[in-house]
């Protein structure tokens, strides 16, 4: 949101339950959240929503929060690194549902991984801010990286933009195009192009192979349970309460692609202060559990990561 030309944030927490029963809890939580916002010296307002569950609460928020044109256009949330815990089995479906709701509502999404590792104003960073610009996002990733440079913690960093070219022959042309684009926008950044051919040629380290095999095993086990349940109940394959179609070759492709992207990030950006990467949208008809496995492979061993999905409207233009 905008207020007097400056950014404004709404900090929201969702409480499960019945509103009549939990109204006092909501008031207390709102007061605590407001205190925390002041403690962190953030500009924004606190809101508490009581809903039957997280998904329903967020769906109401994304449709109604704000007033007129003063509506939030970016949804920021934490990556759920604890999703594998046995008592949190609803997280995958909720997480995927929130992303899909944002896509339908044309909201940008920023997912923060490693929030506890984020530096405060006294912890200066002197490395690079690395952007893995995989899909067009309206320039949101570029804008966020520039905003980071205005903060004391990151003002000593330099921006690197990594692009993926399909062929070696495309690399120089792509690099020239991106450099011209950045020059026109008056943005300073080093441009590095990685060809998919060289990407394919990278040898896999043992740690990557182990992570890939472990993800394959968990997906195979989950798929086996789905098939057993479908045969027992004489129903189609079901996941998250709805029918799904599982193309096992496509699942392998998604796993392999996220693994290669992760290994590329670790090869070039292991020492980066922050890494930005495009958010892969949840594949249609894939179980939410599978998507979380893809995402876990993508974020593996990257301590501080912003996963970004923009919206259709450009946020960085020649007139920004």
Q: Is the Cβ–Cβ distance between 276 and 139 less than 8 Å?
A: no
Task: Identify whether residues 24 and 8 lie together within a single domain.
Answer: yes
Query: pLDDT by residue (tens digit) across 223-279?
Result: 998 889 888 888 888 888 888 888 888 888 889 888 888 988 998 998 899 999 999
Task: Tell me if residue 110 falls in helix, strand or coil.
Answer: strand
Q: Please indicate, yes or no, if residue 58 is contained in any of the structural domains.
A: yes
Is residue 32 over pLDDT 60? yes
Q: Which has more confidence, 162 or 117?
A: 162
Task: Identify whether residues 109 and 142 lie together within a single domain.
Answer: no
Could you give the maximum distance between any two Cα atoms of the chain, in Å? 64
Residues with Cβ within 8 Å of 80's Cβ and at least 6 positions away in sequence, in order, are 88, 91, 95
Mean pLDDT across the stretch 138-162?
87
Q: In the predicted model, what is the mean pLDDT of the chain?
A: 84
**How much is the pLDDT for 4?**
44
Q: Please indicate, yes or no, if residue 177 is contained in any of the structural domains.
A: yes
> What is the CATH classification number for the domain harbouring 305?
3.40.50
Spatial separation of the C-alpha atoms in residues 67 and 308, rounded to whole Å = 25
Q: How many domains does one find in the chain?
A: 2
Instruction: Write out the two tokens for 35.
Output: 């205190």
Is residue 3 over pLDDT 70? no
Task: Identify whether residues 32 and 70 lie together within a single domain.
Answer: yes
Task: Identify whether residues 254 and 303 lie together within a single domain.
Answer: yes
For 203, phi and psi rounded to 5 degrees?
-75, 145
For 139, phi and psi rounded to 5 degrees?
85, 10
Mean pLDDT across the stretch 89-97?
92
Task: Identify whether residues 161 and 150 lie together within a single domain.
Answer: yes
Q: Which has more confidence, 165 or 168?
A: 165
Question: DSSP string of 127-138?
Answer: SEEEEE--S--T
- Of 96, 113, 130, the residue at which a domain comes to its end is 113
**How much is the pLDDT for 197?**
63
Task: Tell me if residue 115 falls in helix, strand or coil.
Answer: helix
Task: Identify whether residues 179 and 259 lie together within a single domain.
Answer: yes
Task: Identify whether residues 289 and 177 lie together within a single domain.
Answer: yes
Query: pLDDT by residue (tens digit) across 60-91?
Result: 998 888 777 778 889 999 999 989 887 788 89
Task: Identify whether residues 51 and 149 lie together within a single domain.
Answer: no
Q: Please indicate, yes or no, if residue 215 is contained in any of the structural domains.
A: no
Task: Provide the percentage of residues in the chain whose pLDDT is more than 90.
Answer: 34
288-299 and 206-233 helices cross at what angle (nearest 10)?
A: 170
Q: Which domain holds residue 282?
A: 115-205+249-309
Q: Which of 7-11, 125-129, 203-207 has the highest mean pLDDT?
A: 125-129
């Amino acid at each position: 949101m905008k207020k007097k030309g400056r950014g404004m944030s709404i900090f929201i927490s969702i409480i499960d339950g019945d509103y009549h029963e939990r109204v006092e809890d909501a008031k207390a939580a709102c007061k605590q959240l407001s205190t925390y916002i002041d403690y962190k010296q953030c500009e924004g307002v606190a809101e508490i929503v009581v809903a039957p569950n997280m998904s329903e609460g967020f769906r109401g928020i994304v449709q109604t929060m704000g007033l007129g044109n003063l509506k939030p256009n970016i949804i920021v949330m934490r990556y759920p690194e604890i999703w594998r815990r046995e008592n949190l089995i609803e997280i995958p479906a909720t997480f995927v549902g929130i992303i899909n709701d944002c896509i339908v509502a044309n909201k940008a999404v920023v997912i923060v991984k490693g929030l506890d590792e984020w530096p405060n104003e006294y912890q200066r960073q002197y490395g690079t801010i690395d952007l893995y610009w995989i899909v067009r996002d309206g320039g949101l990733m570029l804008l966020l990286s520039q905003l980071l440079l205005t903060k004391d913690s990151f003002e000593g960093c330099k921006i690197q933009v990594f692009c993926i070219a399909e062929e070696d022959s495309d690399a120089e042309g792509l690099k020239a195009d991106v450099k011209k684009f950045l020059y026109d926008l008056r943005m300073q950044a080093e441009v590095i192009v990685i060809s998919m051919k060289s990407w394919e040629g990278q040898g896999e380290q043992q740690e990557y192979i182990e992570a890939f095999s472990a993800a394959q095993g968990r997906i195979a086990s989950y798929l086996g349970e789905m098939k057993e349940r479908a045969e027992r109940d004489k129903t189609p394959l079901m996941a998250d309460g709805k029918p799904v179609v599982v193309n096992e070759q496509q699942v392998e492709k998604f796993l392999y692609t996220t693994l290669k992207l992760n290994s590329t990030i670790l090869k070039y950006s292991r020492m980066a202060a922050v890494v930005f990467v495009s958010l892969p949208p949840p594949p249609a008809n894939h179980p939410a559990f599978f998507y979380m496995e893809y995402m876990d492979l993508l974020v593996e061993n990257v301590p501080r990561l912003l996963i970004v999905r923009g919206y259709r409207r450009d946020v960085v233009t020649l007139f920004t």
